[in-house]
C-alpha cells in the first residue's frame, strides 16, 4: 500500500491505480504469508487498511486537517471510488483463505 501511495505521488495524482493495486497485491501476499490461525485478521483488514492509508495520504498531502469539510469530501470519495479496490482485495483474500483452508496449508 505504501509503495502504491508513493507511485501515485510520483505520478502527481490523487490516490489511484498504484494505491489500488498496492492494496490488492499487499492483501494477497499477507494472506499467503500468515499462519492459518491468524488468517481472520487478514480477511477483515482490507477495508480498514484502505481507510487508514487514504487518511494518511490525505493528511500528508494537505499538511494537516484544518477543514472538516475537506475530510468529509475525501471520505465520500474513498467510499465511492475506492469500493472496487476494497472489493477486489477482500475477494482475493477470501478466495486464497478458502483455498488454504480446504487444502489445509
What is the pLDDT averaged over residues 25-51? 89
DSSP 14: S
pLDDT single digits (tens) 81-95: 888 988 999 999 999
47 confidence band (pLDDT: 50, 70, 90): confident
- DSSP-derived secondary structure for 54-82: HHHHHHHHHTS---HHHHHHHHHHHHHHH
Distance CA 66, CA 55 (A): 14
pLDDT single digits (tens) 10-26: 776 666 778 888 889 98
Nearest to residue 27, comparing CAs of 95, 104, 90, 99? Answer: 90
Torsion, CA 20, CA 22, CA 50, CA 34, rounded to 10: 140
Report the domain count for the chain.
Answer: 1
Domain span holding position 82: 2-103
Cell of 14: 490523487
pLDDT at 63: 64
Q: 14 or 46: which carries more pLDDT confidence?
A: 46
Cell of 3: 509503495
Q: pTM for this one?
A: 0.77
- CB 32, CB 67: distance < 8 Å: no
**Gyration radius from the chain CA atoms:** 15
- CB 75, CB 11: distance < 8 Å: no
Amino acid at each position: 500500500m505504501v509503495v502504491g501511495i508513493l507511485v501515485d505521488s510520483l505520478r502527481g495524482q490523487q490516490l489511484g491505480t498504484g494505491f489500488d493495486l498496492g492494496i490488492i497485491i499487499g492483501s494477497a501476499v499477507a494472506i499467503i504469508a500468515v499462519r492459518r490461525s491468524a488468517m481472520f485478521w487478514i480477511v477483515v483488514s482490507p477495508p480498514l487498511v484502505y481507510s487508514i492509508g487514504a487518511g494518511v495520504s490525505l493528511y500528508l498531502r494537505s499538511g494537516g486537517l484544518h477543514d472538516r469539510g475537506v475530510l468529509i469530501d475525501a471520505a465520500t470519495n474513498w467510499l465511492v471510488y475506492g469500493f472496487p479496490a476494497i472489493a477486489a482485495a477482500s475477494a482475493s483474500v477470501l478466495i486464497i483463505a478458502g483455498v488454504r483452508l480446504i487444502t489445509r496449508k
